[in-house]
Structure 1
């Protein structure tokens, strides 16, 4: 069973205190058992929680909090690509979030659509392919148009795959797949999910201090390592991301079996 780990600014540092916080993700660590080699996860999910609380803390509106969070999301996506992550899943706006006030939902959709259009050039330059995961039913037309544009513009890239969950719920994904499933095993079932190309997640990082998956990637998180960071999403820096990757590198993943090497 995977375990959560709460990051704290003053307590968590990569072992051996390397000059760059991510160094210990890639390099063996003398303080670990000789049977373990540290490495970076290939498939990571980010649950960017805390935009509204951050806004309230700074005397701003919820919309301003979501806007600040969207700016951070762009930067962390580019950081993840630079750090060698192959697949990044961003839990953007869930089907449960769609039940918020119509004004807040409309604001978020406008912000995301705008950032998609703005992000085409950035993703294209970085070799990142973007794919939206979730139900398109209920999304406004401006969002659907923005999704079509950015998916088409980045479809040929392969340096990193970026999945963005919009109007997505893990239970609904499993229910819809189960309704179409006629047998054949896990691999056949996996192909019926929203994004069959999404591999099982090595690491799930949630900001904002809450310790739950909130109906997120349920199938893909079966054996994920979990990191819960107290920072609200707009305050989640590249250093915090690197620290989470370093924390993953210190763990032994058993996957229900005997200890397994990470390297």
Structure 2
């Protein structure tokens, strides 16, 4: 083999090795840039998918039932109430009289303090149910639309008409107490204003020919508590009813000549307090 041939082979080998080495050292940048770009785009898409839109983050409107307030508003107060008519001496079902009244009133508000001298415990007691003194035979009416859940006989020998929204014994019960000749029974559906019986001869300090009926909203518990019913009047009767109670106050005080019987600073007309009362 000639020296020239050998030298040529060596030269080609060196050149080839040099080119191979340079090829290995060469790192293309474009594919990496493209790869990074693809990763960035995927990450951005994923981020958008994981991040809720403003619409998705907006809370959905839900109906929340507050169990700390009565579920039904009163559309009736159990008896008829109207402005005082001097000619008839009546204010709806209230018949004004000069006969002696134990508490000097035809209407005892929620929270009215019953003196210990006339209470069963011998201690002053806050009245948990507004009390109406009206003539015997006066119709007693349902306070709300609902279903009669029970008509228990009371210690006084008369009954309580108890109504709930669905006819089941629930946390909140609507009462008309001291009723005679009940016209409804458990399971009957009633509407506000419907006659459910007559006022009882349970006197509550009433004169001859008069009886008493009480209304209430009771919250079940141990012990049970009553709340101010006039704080839960339906808008359809609220304004008119509160005005008529105020009118009754004024008319009665004027009739008996005593302007200190009712307070003008009641938190809600018809209720001396808004605090719950046990019983």
TM-score (norm 1): 0.26
**As a proportion of its length, which structure holds more strand?**
2
TM-score by length of 2: 0.25
Point out the structure with max Rg over C-alpha: 2
Higher relative contact order (CA 8 A, sep 6+): 1
